[in-house]
Amino acid sequence: MKRLMTGVASGALLALLAGCSAPDTDPAASSAATAAPDTGAAAPTVADAAQFLSDAEDELRAFSEFGSRTAWVQNNFITYDTNWLLERMSTQGTEMSVRLATETARYNDLDLTTEMSRKMNVLRAGITLPAPSDSAAAARLSELTTRMGSAYSTGLMEIDGEMVDHNELENIMRTSRDPEFLSHVWSGWRDSYGPEQMATDYAEMVEIANAGARDLGFSDLAEMWLSNYDMPAAEMEAEVERLWGQVEPLYEQLHCTVRGELNGLYGDEVQAADGPIRADLLGNMWAQSWAALADVASVSDAGPAYDLTQLLVDADYDPIRMTETAETFFTSLGMEELPDTFWERSLIVQPRDRQVACHASAWNLDSVDDLRIKMCTRVTADDFVTVHHELGHNFYQRAYNQQDFLFQNGAHDGFHEAIGDFIALSVTPDYLVQIGLLDPADVPDASADLGLLMDTALDKIAFLPFAIMMDQWRWQVLRGEIQPEDYNEAWWELRQSYQGIVPPTERGENAFDPGSKYHIANNVPYLRYFLSFIMQFQFHQAACEMAGWEGPLHRCSIYGNEEVGARFSAMMEMGASQPWPDALEAFTGTREMDGSAIIAYFEPLMLHLQEQNATRDCGWD
């Protein structure tokens, strides 16, 4: 989601450029602290600190609107000139946010209120990509980030004499079952954004941003990114490992089953029955969601389920109707409709006459209610979930718009990503009947539950190791543990170790496969999605309990439940004003992120997979 900065001095500025990133939050308990500079001037008072924060919020709010509108135009019309404007804006934004972050050090020794300290921390640690405070560095950083982002969004590949864009290439990966063609398209994408130039730009960007992070008192940018979770960076990293440990066994079982099915479909030559899986066979450009394999990896003795893409197509849904349907889910929970300007100003259908950043994002341009999405929507089940995801960002943005500017953000960035996905977990067969998409006679009976769970697992469980390895790679790069000459090899070591996948072909010397992913080319931290995929099931479980639901979790829908809606809105309205455990507790009653909800949701499937895999040699090494 975007907005120049929500809560950030400037990183959000860059996060802005960076696409769908929720502006970064506040590291209330960040471990690194810059020493107060000894300027010889009179020691500042608490009143001075209050004035500084109030001025900073005014300055940021004003800049945020200018920055958001600039970025909106660039994302919707990618040209030489809009890149120029974006670069210029982003340089100013970085300079401003770094200046404000640096100034917080003056107030280090004061006994500030909790609220003031939180705001200081937002200013200091919330910058996604800081630069050292000389303008040459900020300008160079903007040049590099704009070039990478724009190269990513405008990449094309030639197929049969025609230039094909990313949206269409993604479509091929989802639907083709021709291994040679898949490998060709998979590799073509990874040539389409100028990998050599991007790798060089990336390495230089890392140097500048790390220097910026060190100037602000962090050991490197990885520590700074991890300092936005109300606990010391090292503790947060350990938290992530703990959560991954909870869900890893489920992923291994899913991997084992899917590998077996792919081996059956393609034969040993294409996909062996043991070892890692070929990355291009999983129905997705990045092997991050395997939902497109629902037909391949179906559960054989389960009763008939349904194909949501087909239901949408058969009912003549178009992108606007999909968006309206998602909006209705939110309003059924008691939330206000989206403003008319949402419909007038959003980009919901891919324009054919110009280049746009197709990766879906949600925006609040004026920090009040100029809410919009930008999405090249296709009539598919995937995009039906994504449109709920994007509206989740918008409804959250509006819910916290009464907060002070520096608290206009998610409780942490994982919350921002989880809102809409949590809502989409309520897209159950009964809900589809309620909105007229599914015939009551076609509601799958209990014998189909394993099939329904499998479909969801191919999306939600397959994603987890991907989400973790994305930032494992970046943290290691930012810490200097992975050097530029090893970027690609280290990427594939992590892909293999976490996901158990390998590239379809030998990767060349000049490959830069991390750049194939939007969030790396555009510098959007990715840990947020891992956290979201854990927490959305916590939200769902708590909401279903609140609703008095007694059946299996995957059949529970909170559609129309205003009581749950009111409790959820109360959490959203808090924004980033309190430490995230307080926000989590307000809705779920627990103060911890915890994998037990996602495990409970998939428990019947886990038992089934274990049984099915009993004779298989799982794992990949």
The residue sitting closest to ligand X8Z, measured at its beta carbon, is: 20
Site string for ligand X8Z, 342-371 (x = CB under 6 A): ------------------xx----------
Tell me if 389 contacts ligand X8Z by CB under 6 A. Answer: yes
The distance of closest approach from Cβ of residue 528 to ligand X8Z in the complex, given in angstroms and rounded to an integer, is 8
Residue type for position 576:
A
Would you list the DSSP string of 438-494?
Answer: S-GGG---GGGHHHHHHHHHHHHHHHHHHHHHHHHHHHHHHTTSS-GGGHHHHHHHH
For ligand X8Z, the closer of residues 389 and 567 by Cβ is 389
3-state secondary structure of 347: strand
Contacts of 453 (CB under 8 A, 6+ apart): 554, 601, 602, 604, 605
Among 82, 257, 284, 386, binds ligand X8Z (CB under 6 A): 386
Name 257's Cβ contacts closer than 8 Å, sequence gap at least 6.
Answer: 297, 609, 612, 613
> Residue 34, SS3?
coil
Written as six digits, the tokens of 180 are: 């040679």
Q: How far is the CB of 603 from Zn ion (least distance, A)?
A: 28
Query: 386 contacts which partner out of Zn ion, ligand X8Z, none, CB within 5 to 8 A by kind?
Result: ligand X8Z
Q: x/- site string to ligand X8Z, residues 523 to 562, per CB under 6 A? A: ------x---------------------------------
Instruction: Report the partner that residue 91 touches, choosing among ligand X8Z, Zn ion, none (CB closer than 5 to 8 A by kind).
Output: none
Output the CA–CA distances (angstroms, integers) from residue 381 to 118, 126, 316, 448, 555, in the order listed.
40, 34, 13, 18, 17
- Distance CA(370)–CA(16), nearest Å, equals 15
Residue tagged active-site, from 166, 393, 412, 519: 519
Report, in Å, the least distance between residue 231 CB and ligand X8Z.
24
Closest to ligand X8Z by CB, 20 or 464: 20
Shortest approach of ligand X8Z to residue 391 CB, angstroms? 12
Tokens linked to 599: 């495990």
Closest contact distance (angstroms) between CB of 398 and ligand X8Z is 17
Residue 330: both structure tokens together: 């939110």
> In this complex, which beta carbon is closest to Zn ion, that of residue 20 or of residue 86?
20
Q: Which is nearer to Zn ion, 118 or 528 (CB)?
A: 528
Which entry of Zn ion, ligand X8Z, none binds 529, CB below 5 to 8 A by partner kind? ligand X8Z
With CB under 5 to 8 Å by kind, the binding choice for 92 among Zn ion, ligand X8Z, none is none
Among 14, 18, 20, 256, binds ligand X8Z (CB under 6 A): 20
Q: Which CB, 102 or 361, lies closer to ligand X8Z?
A: 361
Q: Out of 65, 87, 103, 390, pick the active-site residue.
A: 390
CB of 329 to ligand X8Z, least distance (A): 17
Q: Taking a C-beta distance cutoff of 8 angstroms, is the pair 362, 371 a contact? A: yes
With 0-12 CB in 10 A as exposed, 13-18 as middle and 19+ as buried, what is 245? exposed
Nearer to ligand X8Z, 131 or 376 (CB): 376
Nearer to ligand X8Z, 75 or 361 (CB): 361
Strands 162-165 and 501-502: unpaired
Closest of 216, 190, 264 to residue 27, by C-alpha: 216
Please give the span between the terminal C-alpha atoms of the chain, in angstroms, as a whole number: 37
Report how many residues bind Zn ion under the rule CB under 5 A: 2
Q: Which string of DSSP letters, residue by residue, matches 127-143?
A: -SS---SSHHHHHHHHH
Amino acid identity for residue 254 in this structure: L
Interaction pattern, residues 365-404, with Zn ion; x per rule: CB under 5 A: ----------------------------------------
| Part in contact with Zn ion (CB under 5 A); list of ranges 20-28, 60-68, 225-233, 463-471 | 20-28
In degrees, to the nearest 5, what angle opens at C-alpha 398 toward C-alphas 463 and 387? 35
Query: Quick one: which segment of 174-182, 297-305, 416-424, 586-594 binds Zn ion (CB under 5 A)?
Result: 416-424
Task: Answer yes or no: 412 catalytic.
Answer: no
360 binds, among ligand X8Z, Zn ion, none (CB under 5 to 8 A by kind): ligand X8Z
CB nearer to Zn ion: pick between 20 and 279: 20
Interface with ligand X8Z, residue 409, by CB under 6 A: no
What tokens were used for 255? 């991997």
Residues 6+ apart with CB under 8 A from 447: 302, 303
The answer to whether residue 419 forms part of the interface with ligand X8Z (CB under 6 A) is: no
Any bridge partners for residue 371, and if so which? 364
Q: How far is the CB of 3 from Zn ion (least distance, A)?
A: 12
**Spatial separation of the C-alpha atoms in residues 1 and 11, rounded to whole Å:** 13
The closest alpha carbon to 532, from 415, 359, 379, 430, belongs to: 415
Q: Which one among 9, 13, 15, 20 touches Zn ion, defined by CB under 5 A?
A: 20
Burial (0-12, 13-18, 19+ Cβ within 10 Å), 158: exposed
**Shorter beta-carbon distance to ligand X8Z: residue 288 or 397:** 288
CA dist 16 and 300 (Å) reads 45
Nearer to Zn ion, 20 or 236 (CB): 20
Query: What is the separation of C-alpha 176 from the centre of its chain, rounded to a whole number of angstroms?
Result: 26
Report the b/e string of 190-206 with b at 16+ CB within 10 A: bebbbbeebbebbbebb
The H-or-E segment that residue 429 falls in is helix 429-434
Report d(CA 533, CA 531) in Å as an integer: 6
**Shortest distance in whole angstroms from residue 288 CB to ligand X8Z:** 6
Q: Measured between alpha carbons, how far is 11 from 458 in angstroms, rounded to an integer?
A: 33
Site for ligand X8Z in 272-311 (CB under 6 A): 288
Task: State the minimum distance, in angstroms, from the CB of residue 5 to Zn ion.
Answer: 17
Nearer residue to Zn ion within complex by CB, 293 or 360: 360
Choosing among Zn ion, ligand X8Z, none, which partner's interface includes residue 468 (Cβ < 5 to 8 Å by kind)? Answer: none
**Residue 218 touches which of Zn ion, ligand X8Z, none (CB < 5 to 8 A by kind)?**
none
Provide the residue type at 414 as one letter: G
In the complex, least distance from residue 361 CB atom to ligand X8Z, rounded to whole angstroms: 6
3-class secondary-structure state, position 552: coil
Binder of residue 193, out of Zn ion, ligand X8Z, none (CB less than 5 to 8 A by kind): none
> Among Zn ion, ligand X8Z, none, what binds residue 538 when CB lies within 5 to 8 Å by partner kind?
none
- Tell me how far, at minimum, the Cβ of 29 lies from ligand X8Z, in Å: 26
Residues lying near Zn ion in the complex (CB under 5 A) = 20, 417
Residues lying near ligand X8Z in the complex (CB under 6 A) = 20, 288, 360-361, 386, 389, 529
Which amino acids are annotated catalytic?
390, 519
